[in-house]
Amino acid sequence: MIEFHLDARSGVAPYLQLIQQVRHALRLGMLKEGDRLPTVKDVVARVAINPNTVLKAYRELEYEGLVQPRPGLGTFVTRTLAGGDEAIAAHEPLRRELTDWLGRARAAGLDDEDVEALLISTFREFSEERAGRRG
Amino acid sequence: MTDAVTTTGLTKRYGRRTALSDCTLNIPAGHVVGLVGPNGAGKSTLLQLTCGLLAPTEGRIEVLGHTPHTGSPRLGFVAQDTPVYGNLTVADHLRFGAHLNPGWDKALAQRRIAELGLDPSQRAGKLSGGQRAQLALTLAIAKRPELLLLDEPVAALDPLARREFLQGLMSYAAENGTSVVMSSHLVADLERVCDYLIVLVASRVRVHGDVDELLGTHHRLTGPRRDPDTLGPGREVVQASHTDVQSTLVVRSTAPVDDPSWTSDRLDLEDIVLAYMAQAGTHGRDRVLEKR
């Protein structure tokens, strides 16, 4: 079971934050097929948000085919986003390489903002290049 | 689904002072509605008209399909500063509630008191602000109302007590599908708990609607100075400010603004509320620009 939280200053709509947190948990393998999401009542009692916000997030996730409500039982994960065991197994070595890289960036005098800007711009270039090759 | 509240030209005057003027609204049922506005805007007046404590000077109001009257079992009302009887104990309050309300849910009331850790023999006057608010909420929801009205329920509470109060309120609303209308200045709280918003400034409703729709249709445009009326049809300028070279507009527009000379930003709920409040304060002042 996962627990939701809200970042009031993020500027991201609350229902989108809930969706992102579920997708994130699916991607990291914290949620797997058959797992139950917290009930609407549990979420609102914990996070103090509007029940319709939770319903909207769950409907959206259902529409994406990630979860399925079962009346009287709750909402269950129907599909995982993690790319199978192989991809999950690759997480740890990749994370270590990234940690090493961050260490080298820090040693070279980059601060948090520099690192973030570099990561985002490289990521964007990389994605565009890939998309270009495919098209 | 019937509307929880429908008003037509609703007006309330106290002598020569107008507390609410020409308010036409319909609030669909099943929502948690936030009522915001500065002090003296008419929020309490609207809530008291809704629960039948006040009668309108002009216009009509229907609540759950009927003219509201006090003591209706279908309505729960928590007045400003969450009043309780200081000399009565928590248990006395529950007995009182059971006696006055035919639909009283004794089990719900006792469960809530136990969950909150309140001592039934404690005098209400000795409770903390947060506990008093929770007791008042318990009395209102144990009636099992279809519509719950709350006037500034969390204004006097510290952040933790506020969060706990909203958690209790939201879990009740989630379980029962109750419509809720609550007034507050704390837009950050309302942004979490409300899915419908009414902005009331200087006795008038400035804007009301579904929160997601309000967030999706309001934009902040910045660009070279120009007349806001050149924006074209379907775009309502909520707020405009100008420097020598730059114009900053808050607009309501259902179509995206695709003019490349404007930079368009999203607004959060607080920005939108503030824009409407500022509009009410400076109405007419920016008209000067038209004549240039």
Chain B residues close to A60, C-beta within 8 Å: none
Domain assignment present for B74? yes
Percent of all residues in chain B with a pLDDT value above 70, rounded to a whole number: 95
Q: Do A48 and B167 count as a contact with CB atoms less than 8 A apart?
A: yes
Percent of all residues in chain B with a pLDDT value above 90, rounded to a whole number: 49
Q: What three-state secondary structure class fits A75?
A: strand
Nearest by CB to residue B163, choosing from A44, A48, A53, is: A48
- Of B151, B148, B137, B133, which Cα lies nearest the Cα of B44? B151
Domain assignment present for A48? yes
- Of B35, B42, B33, which Cα lies nearest the Cα of B11? B42
Sign of the torsion formed by the C-alpha atoms of A57, A63, A66 and A68: positive
Domain assignment present for B209? no
Chain B residues close to A40, C-beta within 8 Å: 174
Domain assignment present for A7? no
Rounded CA separation A42/A106 (Å): 42
pLDDT given at position B94: 93
Q: Do B188 and A6 count as a contact with CB atoms less than 8 A apart?
A: no
Q: Do A6 and B268 count as a contact with CB atoms less than 8 A apart?
A: no
Query: What is the average pLDDT score of chain B?
Result: 87
Chain B residues close to A50, C-beta within 8 Å: 32, 170, 173, 192-195
- Enumerate residues 205 to 224 of chain B having a beta carbon within 8 A of any beta carbon in chain A: 212, 215
Query: What is the average pLDDT score of chain A?
Result: 87
Secondary structure of chain B in the HEC alphabet? CCEEEEEEEEEEEECCEEEEEEEEEEEECCCEEEEECCCCCCHHHHHHHHCCCCCCCEEEEEECCECCCCCCCCEEEECCCCCCCCCCEHHHHHHHHHHHCCCCCHHHHHHHHHHHCCCCCCEHHHCCHHHHHHHHHHHHHCCCCCEEEEECCCCCCCHHHHHHHHHHHHHHHHHHCCEEEEECCCHHHHHHHCCEEEEEECCEEEEEEEHHHHHHHEEEEEEECCCHHHHCCCEEEEEEEECCCEEEEEEEECCCCCCCCCEEEECCHHHHHHHHHHHHHCCCHHHHHHHC
Rounded CA separation B14/A105 (Å): 68
B231-267: b or e for each residue (b if 16 or more CB lie within 10 Å)? beeebebbbbebeeeebbbbbbbeeebeeeebebeeb
> Same structural domain for residues A109 and A125?
yes
Nearest by CB to residue B266, choosing from A6, A11, A52, is: A11
Q: Do A48 and B192 count as a contact with CB atoms less than 8 A apart?
A: yes
User: Which domain range does residue B245 map to?
Assistant: 218-291
Query: Would you place residue B287 in the very low, low, confident or very high pLDDT band (cuts 50, 70, 90)?
Result: very low
Instruction: Tell me the DSSP string of A22-58.
Output: HHHHHHTTSS-TTPBPPPHHHHHHHH---HHHHHHHH
By the CB < 8 Å criterion, does B190 face chain A? no
Please count the structural domains in chain B. 2
Integer distance in angstroms from the first to the last C-alpha of chain A?
40
> Same structural domain for residues B43 and B83?
yes
Please count the structural domains in chain A. 2
Q: Residue B65: exposed, middle, or buried by beta-carbon count in 10 A (0-12, 13-18, 19+)? A: exposed
Over 60: is that where the pLDDT of B286 sits? no
Write phi, then psi, for B288 (nearest 5 degrees). -50, -35
> Same structural domain for residues A93 and A118?
yes
> Which residues make beta-bridge pairs with B224?
B246
Nearest by CB to residue B174, choosing from A11, A15, A44, is: A44
Over 60: is that where the pLDDT of A73 sits? yes
ipTM value of the model?
Answer: 0.71
> Which residues make beta-bridge pairs with B208?
B198
pLDDT given at position B120: 93
Q: Do A48 and B166 count as a contact with CB atoms less than 8 A apart?
A: yes
Determine which helix (DSSP H) or strand (DSSP E) holds A76, and give its type and residue range.
strand A74-77
The 10s digit of each residue's pLDDT in A88-120 is: 778 788 889 999 999 999 999 999 999 988 988
Domain assignment present for B81? yes
Q: Do A48 and B188 count as a contact with CB atoms less than 8 A apart?
A: no
Rounded CA separation A85/A64 (Å): 22
Angle between helices A51-63 and B159-176 (to 10 degrees): 60
> Same structural domain for residues B22 and B92?
yes
Query: Would you place residue A23 in the very low, low, confident or very high pLDDT band (cuts 50, 70, 90)?
Result: very high
Query: Would you place residue A134 in the very low, low, confident or very high pLDDT band (cuts 50, 70, 90)?
Result: low
Rounded CA separation A26/A79 (Å): 8
> Same structural domain for residues B65 and B141?
yes
In the predicted model, what is the mean pLDDT of residues B169-187? 90
Q: How far is A125 from chain B (nearest CA, A)?
A: 24
> Same structural domain for residues B175 and B265?
no
Domain assignment present for B208? no
A25-29, A47-51, B213-217: which has the minimum mean pLDDT?
A25-29
> Same structural domain for residues A90 and A129?
yes
By the CB < 8 Å criterion, does B27 face chain A? no
User: Which domain range does residue A39 map to?
Assistant: 14-77
pLDDT given at position A84: 66
By the CB < 8 Å criterion, does B23 face chain A? no
Determine which helix (DSSP H) or strand (DSSP E) holds A65, and give its type and residue range.
none
Chain A residues close to B192, C-beta within 8 Å: 6, 8, 14, 47-50
Q: How far is A87 from chain B (nearest CA, A)?
A: 36
> Same structural domain for residues A105 and A71?
no
Sign of the torsion formed by the C-alpha atoms of A29, A35, A37 and A42: negative
Nearest by CB to residue A41, choosing from B163, B174, B193, is: B174
> Same structural domain for residues B169 and B48?
yes
Q: How far is B28 from chain A (nearest CA, A)?
A: 13
Write phi, then psi, for B58 (nearest 5 degrees). -140, 165
| Cβ contact A98:A87 at 8 Å | no
Residues of A with CB under 8 A from a CB of B: 6, 8, 11, 13-15, 40-41, 44-54
B94 is written with which tokens?
């529950």
Domain assignment present for B211? no
Query: Would you place residue B280 in the very low, low, confident or very high pLDDT band (cuts 50, 70, 90)?
Result: low
Chain A residues close to B175, C-beta within 8 Å: 41
Domain assignment present for B210? no
| Cβ contact B38:B53 at 8 Å | no
Nearest by CB to residue A52, choosing from B163, B195, B266, is: B195
Q: Residue B109: exposed, middle, or buried by beta-carbon count in 10 A (0-12, 13-18, 19+)? A: buried
Q: Do A50 and B192 count as a contact with CB atoms less than 8 A apart?
A: yes
Determine which helix (DSSP H) or strand (DSSP E) holds A115, and give its type and residue range.
helix A112-134
Residue with tokens 């969390």: B154
The 10s digit of each residue's pLDDT in B195-253 is: 999 999 988 999 999 998 998 899 998 888 888 777 777 788 888 888 888 888 899 98
| Cβ contact B34:A52 at 8 Å | no
In the predicted model, what is the mean pLDDT of residues A56-80? 91
Q: Do B192 and A51 count as a contact with CB atoms less than 8 A apart?
A: no
